């Protein structure tokens, strides 16, 4: 039992760790049965706090849920489970199918772009000046952009979308923060939106929606925890968003390291 | 009278007269709900005709076999607590409904992986609900200016807001009593983290207290709550 990590059982049990710490702690949990037992108890304790604030949902929710389950196939029973027991836990050792998808999509995108457009390259320092110019107007409105652009170690990367549009990410490892913007994206079908994902270890994490199909002054999406994120991707999802990507990537790029 | 070994203050009665705010077998620890189901077939739980599944755990086991009727009854047990947690953390009514729907459908989808040895079904559902609610606020706040929001909100206001809203709706006397047995800092840390959906880093900022202190108060506070509530798992 590592004393310092062990004290995180409380924060972990109430979902009060950021993504990076949660990852670290879950690795620790797998090797620490005492911690796992304590987490199980503290989670049950937290659930008692939750049960104490019950609130009847609207009746329409019942109808919606009961209708939806008729269309949702149940997971096949897993073997061993991850100790963390998060919602989308996978059997230990089983690969994340979506990530395999990402990897192959990434490869396909990289090849397509490299051969066809010759992009998907980290901007050189002089090109960054251009990016800064493009973003200057937005920066006035959006403090996070200014903050990242002002960081001494700012780096940027751009790519074209597979179905049109292009995207730029500006990151600062020192600030552990990044900003992502997509320009000139084709309009989504009715009832669909673009959802952006931070992709790294574990399941992709939603970082927000692109509000600006076809717009050339997009709202920036701020990536507050850069650590642990190696790629940013965008998929088309139903309005309201999905908790995990459900369609192919229309934008994907590697963040500068 | 049988005593609950984990909490001698609380008699482990078969036919406990539940207060009107307690809605089902899930309000107590899973051990008790399992015993109740085994011991008291006459209890007024939502049993199907012919003595179908009664506890949330039994229902979840039936759901794992694709039983939609069992899911409907499970819904009636867990939807209000799930919605309560999500609503508390997410706040926005429309988004809370969306997240609650996601959680309940996820419960259906992953029921096949539920193992009673890991804890009660209500615990399973509420752990998932809290996780998804927190995912939602953190990704939503990533597109607004979360840091500024947190900084602008004074610690006192943030805490008062959470505490008042929660106290007004804390339906279970025992939970209320146990919360009030914590030190002020333990209680504030636990409430801001669990009900407020804050990271412990944010709690530390809101309470102007060093990170390490919040980390240990959160743990100490939860441990004290665990012992007070008699949670065994």
Mutate to test the interface with B, among A12, A23, A35, A54 (most CBs of B within 10 A): A54
Q: Which residue of B has its CA nearest to A5?
A: B215
* Residue ranges in chain B assigned as alpha helix (H): 30-39, 56-63, 68-90, 93-110, 121-143, 146-152, 155-169, 173-180, 184-194, 200-206, 211-229
Beta partners for residue A197, in sequence order: A206, A233
**For B141-171, what is each residue's pLDDT tens digit?**
665 555 555 554 555 666 677 777 777 677 6
B66 versus A142: which is more confidently predicted? B66
Paired tokens of B20 = 């009107």
**For A69-103, what is each residue's pLDDT tens digit?**
999 888 887 543 333 333 343 343 343 444 434 44
Mean pLDDT rounded to a whole number for chain A: 72
The dihedrals phi and psi of A99, each to the nearest 5 degrees, come to -65, -35
Asked if B31 and B232 count as a contact pair (C-beta separation under 8 A), the reply is yes
ipTM associated with this complex: 0.75
A237 versus B6: which is more confidently predicted? A237
Note whether B222 contacts A40, CB cutoff 8 Å.
no
Asked if B165 and B88 count as a contact pair (C-beta separation under 8 A), the reply is yes
- Whether the per-residue pLDDT at A219 is higher than 80: the answer is no
Mutate to test the interface with B, among A50, A177, A181, A208 (most CBs of B within 10 A): A50
pLDDT band at A143 (very low <50, low <70, confident <90, very high): low
- Whether the per-residue pLDDT at B97 is higher than 70: the answer is yes
Q: Closest Cα to residue A26, out of A78, A76, A77, A89? A: A89
**For A43-78, what is each residue's pLDDT tens digit?**
999 999 999 999 999 999 999 999 999 998 888 875
The dihedrals phi and psi of A236, each to the nearest 5 degrees, come to -95, 125
Q: Closest Cα to residue A172, out of A150, A188, A187? A: A150
Measured between beta carbons, the chain A residues lying within 8 angstroms of B170 are: 52-53
Asked if B104 and A65 count as a contact pair (C-beta separation under 8 A), the reply is yes
pLDDT band at B129 (very low <50, low <70, confident <90, very high): very high
Sign for the pseudo-dihedral over CA of A200, A204, A205, A210: positive
Note whether B87 contacts A240, CB cutoff 8 Å.
no
State the smallest CA–CA distance between residue A173 and chain B in angstroms: 17
State the smallest CA–CA distance between residue A255 and chain B in angstroms: 18
Q: Which of A17, A74, A222 sits opposite B66 (nearest CB)?
A: A74
Paired tokens of A113 = 């772009």
d(CA B77, CA B186): 30
A110 versus B89: which is more confidently predicted? B89
d(CA A226, CA B215): 22
Q: Which residues contact B144 (CB under 8 A, 6 or more apart)?
A: none
Mean pLDDT, range A106-123, rounded to an integer: 36
d(CA B192, CA B40): 39
Mean pLDDT, range B100-127, rounded to an integer: 90
- Edge-to-edge strands of the sheet including A155-160? A155-160, A166-172, A177-183, A221-223
The dihedrals phi and psi of A239, each to the nearest 5 degrees, come to -50, 135
- Tokens 């901007």 label which residue? A123
- Whether the per-residue pLDDT at A12 is higher than 50: the answer is yes
Measured between beta carbons, the chain A residues lying within 8 angstroms of B143 are: 207-209, 219, 221-222
pLDDT band at B233 (very low <50, low <70, confident <90, very high): low
**For A193-216, what is each residue's pLDDT tens digit?**
888 888 887 788 888 887 655 555
- Whether the per-residue pLDDT at A190 is higher than 70: the answer is yes
B132: left (phi over 0), alpha (psi -120 to 50) or beta: alpha
The CA distances from residue B78 to A38, A234, B108, B217, in Å, are 24, 34, 12, 30
The whole-number pLDDT of residue B7 equals 46
Note whether A47 contacts B122, CB cutoff 8 Å.
yes
Give the CA angle between residues B26, B29, B34 to the nearest 5°: 75
The whole-number pLDDT of residue A217 equals 58
Q: Which of B29, B105, B170 sits opposite A52 (nearest CB)?
A: B170
């Amino acid at each position: 039992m590592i004393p310092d990590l062990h004290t995180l059982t409380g924060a972990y049990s109430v979902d009060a760790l950021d993504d990076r710490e949660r990852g670290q702690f879950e690795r620790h949990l797998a090797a620490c049965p005492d911690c796992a037992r304590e987490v199980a108890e503290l989670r049950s304790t937290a659930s008692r706090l939750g049960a104490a604030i019950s609130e009847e949902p609207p009746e329409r929710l019942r109808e919606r849920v009961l209708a939806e389950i008729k269309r949702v196939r149940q997971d096949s029973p897993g073997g061993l489970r991850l100790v963390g027991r998060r919602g989308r836990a996978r059997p230990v050792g089983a690969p994340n199918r979506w990530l395999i998808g990402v990897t192959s999509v990434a490869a396909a995108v990289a090849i397509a772009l490299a051969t066809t457009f010759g992009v998907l390259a980290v901007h050189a320092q002089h090109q960054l000046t251009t990016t800064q110019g493009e973003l200057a107007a937005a920066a006035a409105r959006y403090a996070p952009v200014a903050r990242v652009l002002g960081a001494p170690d700012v780096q940027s990367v751009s790519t074209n979308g597979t179905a049109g549009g292009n995207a730029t990410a500006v990151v600062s490892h020192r600030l552990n923060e990044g900003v992502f913007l997509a320009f000139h994206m084709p309009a989504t079908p009715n009832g669909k939106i673009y959802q952006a994902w931070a992709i790294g270890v574990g399941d992709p994490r939603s970082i927000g929606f692109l509000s600006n199909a076809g717009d050339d002054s997009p709202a920036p999406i701020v990536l507050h925890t850069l650590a642990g994120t190696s790629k940013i991707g965008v998929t088309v999802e139903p309005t309201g968003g999905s908790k995990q990507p459900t369609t192919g990537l229309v934008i994907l790029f590697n963040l500068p390291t | 009278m049988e005593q609950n070994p984990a909490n001698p203050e609380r008699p482990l009665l078969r036919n406990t007269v539940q207060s009107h705010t307690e809605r089902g077998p899930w309000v107590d620890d899973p051990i008790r709900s399992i015993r109740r189901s085994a011991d008291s077939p006459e209890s007024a739980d939502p049993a199907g005709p012919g003595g179908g599944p009664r506890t949330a755990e039994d229902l979840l086991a039936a759901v794992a076999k694709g039983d939609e009727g069992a899911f409907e009854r499970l819904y009636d047990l867990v939807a209000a607590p799930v919605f309560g947690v999500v609503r508390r953390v997410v706040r926005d009514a429309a988004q809370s409904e969306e997240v609650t729907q996601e959680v309940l459908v996820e419960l259906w989808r992953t029921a096949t992986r539920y193992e009673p040895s890991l804890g009660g079904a209500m615990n399973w559902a509420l752990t998932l609900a809290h996780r998804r609610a927190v995912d939602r606020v953190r990704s939503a706040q990533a597109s607004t200016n979360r840091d500024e929001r947190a900084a602008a909100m004074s610690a006192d206001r943030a805490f008062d807001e959470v505490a008042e809203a929660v106290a007004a709706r804390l339906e279970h006397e025992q939970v209320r009593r146990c919360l009030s047995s914590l030190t002020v800092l333990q209680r504030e840390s636990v409430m801001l983290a669990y009900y407020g959906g804050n990271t412990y880093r944010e709690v530390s900022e809101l309470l102007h207290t060093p990170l390490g202190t919040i980390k240990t108060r959160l743990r100490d506070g939860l441990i004290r709550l665990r012992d007070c509530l008699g949670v065994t798992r």
